[in-house]
Each structure stands twice: as structure tokens, then as C-alpha cells.
Amino acid sequence: LCAAVPLKDMKLLDVKLGQLPTWLAMRDFTPGGMLGALRRGYDRYYSKYIDVRKGGLGGISMVLAGYVVISYIWSYSHL
């Protein structure tokens, strides 16, 4: 049987809609907490798409697509 995971340790996709306000209240929204979350996200992206044994164009093409979207938004700020 699977042990119950505390709400604090659950991932966002595992949280039910009724638990969402409580889950958000437990998050760390300080600058250090936000920086840590960005760092963990970057490390996860890097290990999944860039630092692999048999690499492909997936990770680099995602970065390029993100750059294209951001530059489009900056160029057409009236949208």
C-alpha cells in the first residue's frame, strides 16, 4: 500500500482543487524561496534535456522557441 504523502510535499499536479489554497499557503514566496524554485527548475530541465548520454535537439529547440515567443511579445507590446 502507498503511504499518504503530506500536502506540503505534494507536487502541484497531485493536489486536488479543494486543497489548492492550503497548498499555496505552504509555499515559500520569499526571494530566496523563489530563487531556489527557479534553480530547481533549471537543474531539472538541464538534467532532462541537455545533460543526457544520447542528446537530441529537444532541449535546445525549446530554448530557441521560448526566445522566439518572448521576442515576439516584446516586439508587439500592444497585444
Mean pLDDT of 50-64: 79
Are 62 and 49 in contact by the 8 Å Cβ rule? The answer is yes
70-79 confidence digits (pLDDT tens):
999 888 876 6
Nine-digit cell string for 40? 530547481
B/e letters for 28-65, b = 16+ CB within 10 Å, e = fewer, are eeeeeeeeeeeeeeeeeeeeebeeeeeeeeebeeeeee
32-41 confidence digits (pLDDT tens):
999 999 999 9
13-28 confidence digits (pLDDT tens):
888 999 999 988 998 8
* Residue appearing with cell numbers 530547481: 40
